[in-house]
Amino acid sequence: MPIAIVYMTLDFGYTSTIQGGILSSFFFGYLTTQVLSGALADKYGGKLVLGTAAALWSLFTLLTPISAKVGLGYLILCRVLLGISEGACFPSINSVVAAWFPTEEISKAASAILSSAYLGIVIAWPISTWLGSGPFGWPSIFWTFGLVGLVWSILWQIYAKSNPNEYLGISQEELDLILKNKQKNKPNENLSYHRIESSELVVDSAINENNNVNPNASLTNLVSEEGNELGFETDSLLQKNLTLSNPKEIPWKLILSRHEVWAILIGQFCNAFGNFILLNWLPIYFLDHFKLNLKDFGYYSSKNSFPQYYDYL
């Protein structure tokens, strides 16, 4: 849309305010399905949620030229529905990644997927400029990417699986590698995720039950000290606490009480705020202030995404 809006403005005479309304309407929808789609992906599988979402956002992409010609209100509504559909993308992808990759490789997979979004911009914006300047005009941008999305969603539903143990083409060796740290019935083999959050509660419980504990003792000594009765008791309580917090109920109160979580949330907000301003307005800025040719401005605008691609990668 950041590329297509330039050509659409020439046809419909949109002001900067209207352009901003069209571009931002997508994010009102995008915000609504972030948490919901993640929960649905965990319950019904990332394959179904991602495939359905991709089909829907491809459909609304195809409907964008029609809605724009019918009226501005219909275009904004189409953009909101597009955002609702596309909001399920990354949450459902995260569910698939968590199921398909070994624990030690999840961060690499997540960074590769995030970086691919910027690589997509590097590829898509020049193509959009070429299509918008071609004989079929700006509607061909939406027709092309909408059709590609529909084809991809069909292939995804046919070949993809939410979990590796559902895929017939996987070898037993690869399956064992993926699942080796993910046995739900062996919580003591996968405690690292909950150790930081739960250990403070465990130590408090252990201290209350043993008045002879040195209050200045470190957490590490309390948990790992061999031969000490409190050390064994604390470790037992720790494992029990971790087991209870692991599978079904998300400890939102505990999560939201962590400074690290708020640091991540604030950092992500600031990053997304600046990033999406650049993403939406950079092509228009380059065209208005540098008087670039309509056939070239997409190529220059896409160069901004190269550093972001390598940064995430």
Lowest-pLDDT choice from 83-87, 191-195, 253-257, 272-276: 191-195
For the purposes of burial, counting CB atoms within 10 Å of the CB of 220, is it exposed (0-12), middle (13-18) or buried (19 or more)?
exposed
Between 5 and 302, where is the model more confident?
A: 5
| Segments in 133-256 forming alpha helices (H) | 139-159, 172-179, 192-209, 219-224, 229-245, 252-256
pLDDT tier, 291 (very low <50, low <70, confident <90, very high otherwise): confident
Give the pair of three-digit tokens for residue 180. Answer: 């080796």
Reported residue count of the chain is 313
Query: Is 238 in contact with 202 (CB distance < 8 Å)?
Result: yes
The rounded radius of gyration (Å) of the Cα atoms in the chain is: 25
Rounded to a whole number of angstroms, the distance between the first and last alpha carbons of the chain is 25
The yes-or-no verdict on residue 246 having pLDDT over 80 is no
Closest alpha carbon to 59 in 82, 25, 77, 33: 82
The runs of H, that is alpha helices, within the chain are 4-12, 16-32, 34-44, 46-70, 72-86, 89-100, 106-132, 139-159, 172-179, 192-209, 219-224, 229-245, 252-256, 259-290, 297-302, 305-312
Residues 163-176, mean pLDDT to the nearest whole number = 82
Whether the Cβ atoms of residue 60 and residue 1 lie closer than 8 Å to each other: no
Average pLDDT over residues 301-312: 58
Domains of the chain: 4-178 (1.20.1250.20), 187-245 (no CATH)
Residue 1 has pLDDT above 60, yes or no: yes
**Comparing 81 with 215, which gets the higher pLDDT?**
81
| Amino acid of residue 109 | A
Going by pLDDT thresholds of 50, 70 and 90, the confidence category of residue 300 is low
Give the pLDDT score at 301.
66
The residues, ordered by sequence, that sit 6+ positions from 191 with a Cβ below 8 Å of its Cβ are 238, 239, 242
In this prediction the pTM is 0.72
The single residue listed with the structure tokens 């649905």 is: 40
State the CB neighbour count (10 A cutoff) for residue 188.
10
Residue 138 has phi, psi (to 5 degrees) of -65, -30
92-112: average pLDDT: 86
Residues 6 or more apart whose CB falls under 8 angstroms from that of 164 comprise: 99, 100, 170, 174, 175, 178, 179
State yes or no: pLDDT of 221 exceeds 60: no
**Angle, helices 139-159/106-132, rounded to nearest 10 degrees:** 150
Overall average pLDDT of the 16-26 stretch: 90
Residue 226 backbone phi and psi in degrees, to 5: -80, 145
pLDDT confidence of residue 306: 54
What is the rounded distance in angstroms from the CA atom of residue 240 to the CA atom of residue 199? 11
User: Is the predicted pLDDT of residue 227 greater than 80, yes or no?
Assistant: no
The C-alpha atoms of residue 79 and residue 62 are separated, in whole angstroms, by 11
Lookup result for tokens 């008045």:
211
